[in-house]
Copies of this chain bind each other. A is one copy, B any other.
Amino acid sequence: MDRLLDPELFRLLSEPTRVKLLSCLIKCGRPCSVTEIAECCSIDFSVVSRHLSSMAKLGVLDATKEGRTVWYEARTSEIAERFRAIADSIDQWKSQSCCNGAGRVCE
């Protein structure tokens, strides 16, 4: 579980700006360029570029370079899968909690 509860992934999603971009890409359902998203969301495109590349680096987005434009697309299935895995692993821990009434579990 501790592996799945990846702080880095959540850090990405803790930024309203990034969530806005991601949500935009998920809803769009097709690859979008940096300029396109920047215009669509009214955010400085250097900011958009940085956010998108950081999300791509963490496997949340797919990036495809084609000429001078980069097409970003949300890895929708993988993201959903990741959340489901977390849910499953939490449920699993729930059903086998280790210290009924006493004991240390932190380390």
**A interface residues, Cβ below 8 angstroms from B:** 1-2, 5, 7-8, 10-16, 19-20, 22-24, 26-30, 37, 40-42, 76-77, 79-81, 83-84, 86-88, 90-91, 93-94, 97-101, 104-106
Contacts and interface: CB of A to CB of B under 8 A. Distances in A.
Contacts of A93: 26-27, 29, 76
A88 B81 CA distance: 9
B87 A29 contact: no
Given A79-B90, A90-B26, A94-B77, A14 B20 contact: no
Given A23-B5, A40-B105, A83-B84, A94 B29 contact: yes
A97 B1 contact: no
Given A13-B7, A83-B90, A99 B19 contact: no
A2 B57 CA distance: 22
